[in-house]
Amino acid sequence: MFIDFKLDNLENFPKELETLLNRHKETIDNIAKNATSYQDGIKITEDLNEELDRFFTPLSHLNSVNNSEATQKAYEESIPLLSSFSSYISQHQELYEKIKSLKPNNELEQRVLDLEIRDFKLSGAELGKEDKKELESINLELSQLSNNFSQNLLNATNDFELIVEPKDVDGMPQSEIEPAKVEIDGETKYRFTLQMPSYIAYLTYGPNREIREKLYRAYNTRAPQNQEVIDKLLELKLKKANLLGYKSYAEYALQTRDASGEEEVLSFLNELLDSSIPQAKEEIAQLKAFAKKLDGIEDLAPYDTAYYSQKLKKELFDFDDSQTKPYFEQNAVLNGMLKLTGELFDVEFKKAEAPTWHESVKVYDIAQNGKTFARIYFDLEARESKRGGAWMHNWQSHYIDAKGKEQLASAFVVANFSPASKEQPSLLRHDDVVTLFHEMGHAIHHLFSKVPERNISGIEGVSWDVVEFPSQFLENFAYEASILKEFGYHYQSKEPIPQDLLDKIKDSKNFQAALFILRQVEFSLFDFQLHQKLYKGEEVNKLINQIRQKTALLKVPDYVRFEHGFAHIFAGGYAAGYYSYKWAEVFSADAFFECLKDGKFNKTRAKEYKENILEKGSSKEMSELYKEWLGRRPQPSALLKLYGIDK
């Protein structure tokens, strides 16, 4: 049913992978020569894809969550093998011709064939022999460069620490300084790092402006060697796009997106920008006035914004995230989220005993009407061997295999929440709760699939710019009082979270919402324009500074090199696709308001959402699935409504 997570062959892993890939090549060659139907062609390749994912995912996952020299070595030696194999398949002319000749038996099979043919074309199947060789070389180097970018960033993050005195943490919430406490020569000191929980804690609550600036500078000047990696990545991506007949990497990337073209993306982003700027200017003026009044700050800087924003938020709403932390104990939040998901979508989560990669990992099987159909793993606490951020990683996929047997889905949800200590359990900020709901939204999109074709089941085949739709949809529920009440109990007294605190979470939700949109639009415009033509060296930084003339309402220090840490687009697959977050949010906001009318859950709509969106994978384009559900496209005005912005 489910395979066990285990990886005890790191030293021999690349060799075993090579053996597996050689066997797959033989099978592919046989399909290309002898397949006569969809069943003995595509179905067999789906089984091969599943087998490869089941074998390789534990290594790629472990390299992210329990990084070591051994995982790095095995991973780095495996990348060229996978890249070469991927190129072998994508440039297998005989296989391409065979797939084009196969006849589908239904609409789902037609969809699989259409996507296969499209992907073959984008992978260079129609290129000449020499161009195919060049494309293979480019793809291999791109894979290695992305890994180098990520590794440089992880090393730089782990290499930095700042030891501060007790006076430098004066007034900070106990839950934020407890994890930082260290004993040095018999004296109590506090250690802050560039790991996200630690970095955010001091930038948000740290009273010493000089230390905030030191941390900010260290964070925004990490991994300067990544500039060379970026230059090579951009050069190779453009070369790849040109080779395949596209004028830019952005144009190439949009071939697999929901958005119809470059102009539509830029118009969408600029419309969001224009709609948000007036309110954002009011928000930054309010923050400047507050910082001046409170501490006489005349020159508010980016390393001040989180600190004064939380103080302003507390004054306006008598609220900051530290107030919620004692009420959001990690286990309680997780159990509450599973209960909500179960009730909303009529499923049940059962604790499962299964091998994992770390003692803190929790495993659950998911059932409906007594029948288990999926498995989910949660790895939620920060540790030095884990890369930063939060994500969902799919492992097994739901589909019907070539022998007619139903295969079940599994996935990992990973986060970097403050770990438990001797003094207290793992406590979550409300932002962390939102993050957990977000990644859970990704997970159920993959796990709830009922599509029998693997290549379009779960998140497989879903367009990049709508893949965030289900995750953003679910995170919106993390602001609803009726849900937070389910798991909001003080970790010591067991008192329920007070109603006034729940009101403040909701009321403060859109605090500085326009500034947030500006920041997201800044990242999106930078990413998209960066991939519309070739930028090199300082031109990359000049581009983002040019965009900041409209999006950044505070002067950004000259030393900031945000791009050196922009792993989403240089190591995470979002190149020319960061706009997807906002694009998908139009879908999620519109769907959320359909499922929550006048503060009440519409379970009928939630059931329809599960049946029409979550269970359908990428059996059709998301816009089509959405229209089949509600009879219309999602309304962009719903996004502004979600943020409380009056256009």
Active site residues: 439
Question: How much of the chain is helix, strand and coil, in % rounded to 5?
Answer: 60, 10, 30
Q: Are 426 and 380 in contact (CB under 8 A)?
A: yes
Token look-up 């630690």 returns: 198
CA distance linking residue 117 with residue 94, whole number of Å: 13
**Helix/strand/coil (H/E/C) assignment for every residue in 67-129:** CCHHHHHHHHHHHHHHHHHHHHHHCCHHHHHHHHHCCCCCHHHHHHHHHHHHHHHHCCCCCCH
CA distances from 379 to 179, 236, 414, 503 (A): 19, 35, 5, 30
Residue 141 CA, distance from chain mean position: 24
Q: Are 122 and 86 in contact (CB under 8 A)?
A: no
Token look-up 């019907």 returns: 400
**Dihedral, 353, 374, 394, 413 alpha carbons, nearest 10:** -60
Rg (CA), the chain: 25
CA distance linking residue 539 with residue 10, whole number of Å: 41
Q: Which of 435, 440, 439, 434 is nearest to 505 (CA)?
A: 434
Could you tell me the two tokens for 560? 């900031």
The DSSP result for 209-231, as a single string, is: HHHHHHHHHHHHT--TTHHHHHH
